[in-house]
Amino acid sequence: MSEAVVAVEPTMDPAAMRAIAIEYPRTLARLNRVAHTPDWAWTALGLWIPDDDPRIAADQARALLETATPDEPARAEVLWRAPGHDRPAWWRTAITATGHGAGVAWLRGEFANPTTRMIDLADVAAVLPLPPHAPTSCLHAHRDDFLSSPLRPVPDRDTLTPRVPMTPPEALVLTQYWLHWVAHRVGPLYPVNQEQAFDCRDRLFDLAVASVARGPRTRVDAVAFTADLTTRCRVHTLDPLPDYVHGPHARAVGARLIAHPHADGCVGVEDGDLDELHAVLGVVARYGGTVRLTTTDPDLPGMAPIAESVYVVHFDLRAELVEDDRAREITALDRLVDT
């Protein structure tokens, strides 16, 4: 990304972000000697910055998302200030309709405002198209009462255990590739992605620490869904990616540690390293992955888990609980009913 492009501040409101972000496609259009239009930016860059005027924004949405229907939604990543939030964040949604009325342009879709099923385009800074079957986000991901979602299948148990260890230097290289890719993908909006990734990493780490406090012994398994995010760039040259990014274990790379609580509230580590875990969680937050937290008591027969939770990051910078003890019990009861 050119140094002449001004980056947004993650604390900005949507209108301020739009005013800065629109300069990115305009600059690239000038460099490519083409006219800048929303259709060109959507097709060539995969980026739409809605107009401030609701009527124009509605026309743009209708043209770019004309195929969006309840039966065949248009999946998109929306930089949106959701209800109850003080700043925009990236959300994945399945858009089923667009519209305009009473001075408001909107998108209707899954996992939008739970009271209206709509996203007010005045609260949107940018929209990116996604593949047809990309997973969507869930607004309840950060609530204590979040239950497993039927749209979030629990990953295969064999994929929840890292087969190849990831070192902190390798995690740094992967993070640099991700940031470089994001900067080319969203231009001056990349600081929002970076802040969301930090928040997701810290949430995963806090969940691990909270799990350790529940019992004598907790196994933490973190697996990152690594990918090759090499971006054609005339300016930056990055260190080579780890070999496992291209190999058969790309979805089973990460870290495992065994931890226990201390009386002073600190976490003791029997096997592994907290710095290594923190680095790997940063990759999980950015690339997607899983974190399984299994608390056991060595003094109990059979080492049966006291508690177990599985969190998944679906490449949307957001950790979501897909299975815990309560959800496992509900699943077991459902299976009894079905038999």
**φ, ψ at 147 (rounded to 5°):** -110, 160
Long-range contact list for 326-333, CB < 8 A, 24+ apart?
326/147, 327/147, 327/148, 330/147, 330/148, 331/148
> Which stretches within the chain are classed as H helix?
14-21, 23-31, 38-40, 54-64, 168-186, 190-212, 274-287, 325-338
pTM: 0.88
> Using CA atoms, how far apart are residues 311 and 307, in angstroms rounded to an integer?
13
> Using CA atoms, how far apart are residues 218 and 211, in angstroms rounded to an integer?
7
Q: What is the pLDDT of residue 147?
A: 44
Q: What is the pLDDT of residue 338?
A: 52
> Using CA atoms, how far apart are residues 335 and 165, in angstroms rounded to an integer?
36
Give the chain's end-to-end CA distance (angstroms, integer).
57
Reading the chain (339 residues) residue by residue, the pLDDT tens digits are: 444 678 999 999 999 999 999 999 999 999 999 999 999 999 999 999 999 999 999 999 999 998 899 889 999 999 999 888 899 999 988 899 999 988 899 999 876 555 567 899 999 999 999 988 777 776 554 444 444 454 566 788 778 999 999 999 999 999 999 999 999 999 999 999 999 999 999 999 999 999 998 888 899 999 999 999 998 887 888 899 999 998 777 778 999 999 999 888 788 898 888 999 999 999 999 999 999 999 988 777 666 778 889 999 877 788 888 888 877 766 555 555 554
Give the HSE-up count for residue 303: Cα atoms under 13 Å, Cβ half-sphere: 5
What's the pLDDT tens digit per position in 266-277?
888 988 889 999
With contact defined as beta carbons under 8 Å apart, do 54 and 104 qualify? yes
Q: What's the chain's average pLDDT? A: 86
Which amino acid, one-letter code, is at 55? Answer: R
Q: What is the pLDDT of residue 290?
A: 94
DSSP letter at 247? S
Give the HSE-up count for residue 179: Cα atoms under 13 Å, Cβ half-sphere: 17
Tokens of 242: 């780890």
With contact defined as beta carbons under 8 Å apart, do 310 and 154 qualify? yes
Q: What is the pLDDT of residue 141?
A: 47
Tokens of 106: 């909107």
With contact defined as beta carbons under 8 Å apart, do 251 and 312 qualify? no
According to DSSP, the β-strands at 89-101 and 74-80 are antiparallel
Give the HSE-up count for residue 93: Cα atoms under 13 Å, Cβ half-sphere: 28
Give a three-class secondary structure readout of 105-120.
EEEEEECCCCCCCEEE
Tokens of 276: 């290594």
Angle, vertex CA 223, rays to CA 217 and CA 225, nearest 5:
165
